[in-house]
Each structure stands twice: as C-alpha cells, then as structure tokens.
C-alpha cells in the first residue's frame, strides 16, 4: 500500500536516518497527547518517599527558591506546601502552573 505521508526523513552523514520532520499540526497534536504523562524519574522519586511536588521540582532541576519566586511566596512557605501530603485544589493548580505541568500530573 502506498499511502501518502506527511513526514520527511533526513539522513545523517553515514546515510542512516537522523531526523524526522513532521507537520507542525501533527507535532502539536502528539505533544498535547503526551502532556499528561509522568516521567519515570518523577515516579522513582515519589516511590522513594518524595511528595509529588518535590519529585517534579527535582526532576525539573529547580530549587525551592525558584519555585517560590514563581508562586510569589517565600521559600519557607513553599517548603511547607512541598512537604504537605494534602494540598488544597487551588494550591495544586498554582504549583502545577509554576512547574509548567498539569494538576493531574501531581496526582501520583
């Protein structure tokens, strides 16, 4: 079957495929599907005892001070939230936005 495709394969110096170019709309659709996924590193941190918020912060390579600044709170106030096992829905939404993830990704 010779179905038309919207991809382009770019070969590297050795003649082997090195890159695939796809239409931007396809990329956006694929990216939005993967948006709610949780990286293995985050799950590993959570299994080892970190709260989901801490696991995500560490995975993203951020300090507590950096996240606190994004939230507009002190580092110590953020540390209390990060260590809490039970956050309010509004807090979860704000922290998720500050980390650039969805609130559902903090529900692990």
Contact call for residues 54 and 83 (beta carbons, < 8 A) = yes
CA distances from 34 to 11, 29, 44, 55, 103 (A): 26, 9, 19, 19, 14
Q: Spell out the domain ranges in the chain.
A: 40-106
pLDDT of residue 1: 46
The DSSP bridge partners found for residue 10 are: 19
pLDDT of residue 30: 73
Q: Supply the mean pLDDT for the chain.
A: 90
pLDDT digits over 29-69, tens only?
776 666 678 999 999 999 999 999 999 999 999 999 999 99
Average the pLDDT over 18-22 and give the result: 91
Cα separation, 57 vs 68, in Å, equals 11
The CATH class that applies to domain 40-106 reads: mainly alpha
Evaluate if residue 97 carries a pLDDT over 60. yes
CA distances from 74 to 46, 70, 97 (A): 24, 10, 17
Evaluate if residue 85 carries a pLDDT over 80. yes
């Amino acid at each position: 079957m010779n179905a038309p495709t919207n991809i382009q394969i770019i070969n590297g110096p050795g003649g082997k495929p090195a890159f695939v170019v796809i239409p931007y709309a396809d990329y956006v659709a694929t990216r939005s599907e993967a948006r709610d996924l949780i990286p293995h590193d985050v799950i590993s941190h959570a299994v080892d005892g970190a709260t989901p918020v801490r696991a995500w912060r560490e995975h993203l390579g951020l300090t507590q001070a950096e996240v606190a600044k994004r939230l507009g709170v002190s580092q110590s106030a953020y540390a209390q939230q990060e260590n809490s096992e039970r956050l309010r829905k509004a807090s979860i939404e704000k922290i998720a936005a500050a980390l650039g993830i969805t609130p559902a990704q903090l529900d692990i």
